[in-house]
Structures are given as structure tokens and as C-alpha cells.
Amino acid sequence: MSIEVENISKTFGTFTALKDIRLSIGTGELVALLGPSGSGKTTLLRIIAGLETPDAGVIRFHGEDATRQPVGDRGVGFVFQHYALFRHMTVFENIAFGLRVRPRKLRPSNEQIKTKVMDLLHLVQLEGLAARYPSQLSGGQRQRVALARALAVEPKVLLLDEPFGALDARVRQELRRWLRRLHDDIHVTSVFVTHDQEEALEVADRVVVMNEGRAEQIGTPEEVYEHPANPFVYNFLGNVNLFHGRVDKGQARLGSLAVDAPAHAGGQDAPVVGYVRPHDLDIARSRNGEPTIEAVIRHVHAVGPVVRVELERRDTGDPVEAHLTRERYRELDLRAGEQVHIKPRKMQVFAEDYSI
Amino acid sequence: MAVTTIAPDRAAAPPQTAREPFWVRLLLIGTALLFLGLFLVVPLLAVFTQAFEKGVAAYLEALREPEALSAIRLTLIAAGIAVPLNLLFGVAAAWAIAKFEFPGKNVLITLIDLPFAVSPVIAGLIFVLLFGSRGGLFGPWLAEHGVRVIFAVPGIVLATIFVTFPFVARELIPLMQAQGVDEEQAARVLGASGFQMFWRVTLPNIRWGLLYGVILCNARAMGEFGAVSVVSGHIRGMTNTLPLHVEVLYNEYNFVAAFAVASLLTLLALVTLVLKSVVEWRVLREQRRGGAGGGNHTA
């Protein structure tokens, strides 16, 4: 089932949670709402679920207006951030709840409920734990019970609020790969909220980057990571180095670098910032006749597959971070205190006055 | 995991206080026991010895006389109406306060505490001022329609409700606030109706707190003296509750009967204490079951 979010706005008192959000989610898609806390992502999820009502705008499920539809009638599954399992019920009863509360005519028989719950327990790999209480489970197990409970009512849309937020790092990674595989198997339209960019980029088909109640960019993980629409997205999706300078007639001058900035062709001598990811920054021992920025190596972290080099620019004193492969690092044989030349392989230039 | 492995060690170590010198422990425990004995056990025993002073027959006689039976019945009626009403009111108020944001919430919380703050005698007087047949605000109008509130059963019930209404709400508000609204919302998303949500999710979560509140509420409803005394008029065999009946008998120097009736109230107190302990024990056990699983996050 597809979801259309049309011009949704929401305020809480004087706080604007959502400003004119537009979003279209295709059937079977797995979409991440990514943003810092207070960006409105959870509010948007709760509006889609029907747990909040928007001040303006329309939510459509499969083309039909669902904005005023009560939460219980929307056919959504919702996984709460802290799972919200029924603490006085066993795992079995938690999962069976959505079936047991159905009107008598639609309610499956006890046998059917039992089969269904056992199938779901198998799906979430918790077969032996049907008789346990939520308090007797680990965080990851609770998460999977919450998911099974949401899936029991065969929702057309699955909504997850920070599904891995309360878990430790290793369990998180396992569980998000598992969620991705599960989604590929059952193919229910899914939306999840996260503040972890790695999580969003790894799991989702499409990512909605949110900030201060707006959708800053919507696109596939590759799109938003490789071509951020603005400085906020650039900053939020990983480390970035900033090179301040000025642009004039489509030519940006950033320190001793000169870069083509066709997007700013019309601008007359305006301040700009160049954004460069650490892995797009090359380090060289000599200038080789090209314009470069001189920098001094402050520190080298050579642990792990990527070598992180902290540098300080000679001209401005600003810190710069570069990521090298191990091979390149060995080739250059860098030491702290040495003077080198840095040159961005790829850079995106935005106007300075853009407010983040 | 760390929590579960450390806990037994901690439990095995003797608590700090057990290392005090012997005479200090003796003195502290002795003082506490002496105090308890003087102020709680001796009066308790006195009630029963006085009640049985002239034998079991006299004791039973005092409880069987019509005025005593009438007092028992009235007390049961007052509690039987006040407790269920305050159960309903308490759950509704606690629900509203714990699960919703609305203007005037703090005023409501303060109002719920009012009966604790006001002297019961004043509470009684309020009802006399409102419903007294001479000069009361609604009294004359009610009297015209043949309804008597003051010096009659309705007044006693009203006074009892007023004095006991904080018990259930006070017990439930912090409990429901701590539990939050997530489970209720989960139930709604899963398609439960409002009633199903309340019956299957909210009520089971608050059941022990609710029972605790009801027990305390009942004890107070049956034992209330001040407010009821003001509105009752002490009409023997008509508007005397058990505590009032005790007073009447005592003032007439009928000590055996007074203490016999008082022993009923004392028994009620003892039963209440036992029930209260059982509920507290159950709550503790449930919390412990929750706590034991909670520490085991990485399994």
C-alpha cells in the first residue's frame, strides 16, 4: 500500500514540529526518516499512524484520505521506541493481542491464533520464548516481540519509531540487517525513524533527511550521500571539511584553490563554503604544479581499515581531516609534524549565508 | 550481565548496620519494641480484655442488640456506597491526570487532596451548611420535596465519600504516571476499542495499586468519626455508625458494650493491615520479577 503525505504541518504550542511536508512512499518501499532530535521525524511517523492529528494537510493510504481515520482502523503496525510490550502478558499473549481484540465475527479461532502466533515467533526467531514475560527478555528479544506483535494483524503499513535506538551497538547491527532481510521477504510498506545516518543509509530504499520540521532532501542512500542538496544534509550524513572562500562569476577561490562553481555563475563576489568529505581529500608530498593547500600533520590514527589523518592548514590554522586507504598511507609514509599538500578530489560549493 | 553476577555477592555481605556494638542494637531495638508495646499492643489488648470482662455471653449480647446491629448495617451501607463511588472516581481522576494534558490539571490534583487537608469536623459542617433543613443552602428546598440529608443516612454517606475520596486517586496517579501511555497507544494501534484497552491493558497494570487504595479507602470509610458525627445527629438505631455507637455507649458508662463494638472496628483494622501487607508483598514480588529480567540486556 502506498502512502501520500501532502502538505502536512503540525505545531505543539509555539513549537513548529512539521512545516508543509510532502512525501510519497511507494508500495513495498522501506523508507527512513532521518534527522536530529527535534527535527519532527517521530511526529511525522505518529501522524501517519494516526497517533497525532496534523494541523493541516492530508495523509492518503493507497489514494484514499485517511487523515481523520481513527488509529485502530488504519491497518498499520507500529513498533514503539521502547517497545511498549504489555508487561502483564506473556510473549504469546502480546503477539495474539491484535487478533483477540477483533470483533467476534472477524476474530480467528483459538487454534488459528495459536498457529499464527507460532508462525510469527518462528519468523522473529523466538520459538522457545512464548511463555516468557517481557521483563524476562533482552532488549533485542523485546524488539522482535514488538515487531511480531505489530505484524500479527497483517498491517498494510509498518511503522517503526527508532527501532534500534535502545540497543547496544552489536545487537543493533545484527538486528538492522535482519530487518532488511525480513522486509525483502514480506515486502510490507515500511517507514522507520532514526537519528543514526549509518542505519538509514544501510537499511532503507530511500532516505528522507529532516531538519527543523522540513524535509531537506529525499532520495536513495547513494543520492543523499553523494549529492547532498544543501550544507545541512552534507553535515548530517558524515564528517565534512569546510573551506571558506569567495565566488565570482562561477569561479570559487578557497585559499589557494580555484574551483569551478557553475551553480554560482550569476553571483558577484559572494562568500561561499566548499564541502569536502575526508575520503575525498588527497594528501601529496609535493605540489606537482597544481594549486594545493599546505597543511601540517597533527595526528595519525592508523587503526582499522581506514587511516585518519588530522591536519592543520598553514594559511588559516583550521583543522582538516583526511581519510586514506592503508596502501596510500604506506606509500606516503606520513608522520606527525610533517608538512604536506592537500587537494580535494571532489567538492561541493554552497553560498556562505545558507542557514543550517 | 554484570548486574546479575554482582547482586548475590552484595546480598551475602552483612549489612553495615549489623556491625554496631551489641548494646547499641539492644538499646535501639528495645526502645522501638517498648514504644510499639506501649502505644499499640497494650491498647489493642485493652480493647479485647475490656470487651470480654464480663464473659463471652455479655460480649455477644452487646453485638446482638438492635442498636448495635443497626450501627453495623449503617456502617456497611455507608462504606458500600462510598467505596465503589470513590473507586470509579479515583480511577477516572487518575486516568485523566496521568494520561492527558489539560488546563487546570494542578487545580484538580490540589482539590483531590483537599479532604486530607481539611479537618473532618469542618467537612461535616460544610454539608450541614449546604443541606441543613434550617438555613442550609439547598436544605429547605430539599425538605419541601421530602428529602432529608442532614441527620439522616444520605448525609452520612456524603460525608463518608468526601473524607475518603483521595485514597484511590492518590494511590493510582503516581503509578499511572510512571507507566506512561505507550501500552495504551499500542493497544489502540492493534485495533482495541477504548473499553478493551482499559480492560485488558490499563486495569491489569494498576490492579494491585487499585486494590491497595480500595483497602485503605474502606478502612477509613468504616472508621470515620468526625465528619459523620457532625451530620449524623446521633439518633440511636437510626443514624449511628459503629464509631458513633461506641461513643454513645462509652458516654453511658456501658464499657463492656462499648469495647465489644470497638473490638469489631479493631478486627477490621487488623484485617486491613493483613490485606495491605499481602498486597504490598505481591507488588514487591512482581517488581522483583520485572527487575531480574531487566538487568539481562545483552543475552
Q: CA-CA distance, A55 to A34, in Å (whole number)? A: 22
Query: What are A74-118's pLDDT values in tens digits?
Result: 989 999 999 999 999 999 999 999 999 999 999 999 999 999 999
User: Which chain B residues are Cβ-neighbours of A73 within 8 angstroms?
Assistant: 191
- Per-position b or e across B28-52, b if 16+ CB within 10 A of its CB: eeeeeeeeeeeeeeeeeeebbebbe
Q: CA-CA distance, A137 to A210, in Å (whole number)? A: 33
Is residue A84 a contact partner of residue B186, using CB atoms and an 8 Å limit?
A: yes
The most distant pair of C-alpha atoms in chain B lies apart, rounded to whole Å, by 75
Q: CA-CA distance, B299 to A138, in Å (whole number)? A: 6
Per-residue confidence band for A353, with pLDDT thresholds at 50, 70 and 90: low
| Contact between chains at B190 and A98 (C-beta distance less than 8 A) | yes
Is residue B136 a contact partner of residue B150, using CB atoms and an 8 Å limit?
A: yes
Facing residue for A135 by CB, picked from B196, B200, B289: B289
Query: What are A294-346's pLDDT values in tens digits?
Result: 899 999 998 888 999 999 998 888 899 999 998 888 888 888 888 999 988 88
Q: CA-CA distance, B232 to B90, in Å (whole number)? A: 26
User: Which chain B residues are Cβ-neighbours of A102 within 8 angstroms?
Assistant: 191
Query: What are B132-157's pLDDT values in tens digits?
Result: 877 777 878 887 888 788 888 888 99
| Strand partners of residue A131 | none
Orientation angle between helical segments B55-64 and B255-294, nearest 10 degrees: 80
**How does strand A189-194 pair with strand A157-161?**
parallel
Tell me the CA distances in angstroms from B286 to A94, A347, B207, one per residue in order.
18, 59, 12
Render each residue's pLDDT in chain B as its tens digit; 299 residues: 333 333 444 444 555 556 778 889 899 999 999 999 999 889 889 889 988 888 888 889 888 888 889 999 999 999 999 999 999 999 999 999 988 888 888 999 999 999 989 999 998 998 888 888 777 778 788 878 887 888 888 889 999 999 998 999 999 999 999 988 999 999 999 999 989 999 999 999 998 899 989 999 999 999 899 899 988 888 877 888 999 999 999 999 888 889 999 999 999 888 988 988 888 888 788 766 654 433 333 33
Shortest Cα distance, chain A CAs vs residue B74, angstroms = 39
Is residue A197 a contact partner of residue A240, using CB atoms and an 8 Å limit?
A: no
pLDDT of residue B2: 38
pLDDT of residue B153: 87
pLDDT of residue B293: 37
| Contact with chain B for residue A72, Cβ under 8 A | yes
| Contact between chains at B192 and A85 (C-beta distance less than 8 A) | no
pLDDT of residue B10: 44
| Contact with chain B for residue A76, Cβ under 8 A | yes
| Contact with chain B for residue A51, Cβ under 8 A | yes
Please name the amino acid found at residue A273: V
pLDDT of residue B237: 77
| Contact between chains at A149 and B289 (C-beta distance less than 8 A) | no
pLDDT at A250 over 50: yes
| Contact between chains at B293 and A149 (C-beta distance less than 8 A) | no
| Contact between chains at B190 and A149 (C-beta distance less than 8 A) | yes
Q: CA-CA distance, A250 to A247, in Å (whole number)? A: 6
Taken in order B62, B67, B73, B79, is the CA torsion positive or negative? Answer: negative
Which residue, B223, B270, B268, is CA-closest to B247? B223
Is residue B292 a contact partner of residue B80, using CB atoms and an 8 Å limit?
A: no
Q: How many CB atoms lie within 10 A of CB A55?
A: 14
pLDDT of residue B294: 37
pLDDT of residue B157: 92
Q: How would you list the strands of the sheet with A64-65, edge to edge? A: A15-25, A3-12, A56-61, A64-65
Q: Tell me the three state secondary structure of residue A92.
A: helix
Q: CA-CA distance, A113 to A108, in Å (whole number)? A: 6
| Contact between chains at A72 and B294 (C-beta distance less than 8 A) | no
Is residue A76 a contact partner of residue A158, using CB atoms and an 8 Å limit?
A: yes
User: Which chain A residues are Cβ-neighbours of B188 within 8 angstroms?
Assistant: 51, 71-72
Please state whether the predicted TM-score (pTM) of the whole model is above 0.80: no
Which residue, A280, A275, A259, is CA-closest to A322? A280
Q: CA-CA distance, B226 to B209, in Å (whole number)? A: 27
What are the residues whose beta carbons fall under 8 Å from the beta carbon of A55, sequence distance 6 or more? Answer: A9, A10, A11
pLDDT of residue A257: 83
B181, closest residue in chain A (CA to CA): A84
End-to-end, the C-alpha distance of chain A in Å comes to: 35
What are the residues whose beta carbons fall under 8 Å from the beta carbon of B19, sequence distance 6 or more? Answer: none
Facing residue for B191 by CB, picked from A51, A82, A153: A153
Facing residue for B191 by CB, picked from A101, A133, A138: A101
Which residue, A232, A224, A216, A218, is CA-closest to A198? A224
| Contact between chains at B191 and A137 (C-beta distance less than 8 A) | no
